[in-house]
Structure 1
């Protein structure tokens, strides 16, 4: 797996939706690539921040916007 493959699979990885061989390749790549480790951590932080916004102030977020944002991250390549 290369870095581009990892970027394309990150949401499936975080959703625990990868098949076992792909997850193993993902983890093997992370074991060898510090920039991708940083990318995964940044992605987790971003998702966590967005989740806390939604939890702390759901009345401020338009549900349509939330769905579009989630869709954009899922489909982003």
Structure 2
């Protein structure tokens, strides 16, 4: 497995596809990362607080869009 450090520079867009996956268009700096011996290799995503706040807003919007497309639940109705 290759490991990378992914530094998000800017979030440009967010969307969902027909498989229910969230997709984000980003500008990012991607550099190879040497795994540390004895530790499971992992990639890291790094972003500023401002970009993290943009990500949160994009996620909220995408979840609202997904939820609006789901059929209304009949659970919890009296009767």
Q: Greater share of helix residues, 1 or 2?
A: 1
TM-score after normalising by structure 2: 0.39
Greater CA radius of gyration, 1 or 2?
2
Q: Greater share of strand residues, 1 or 2?
A: 2
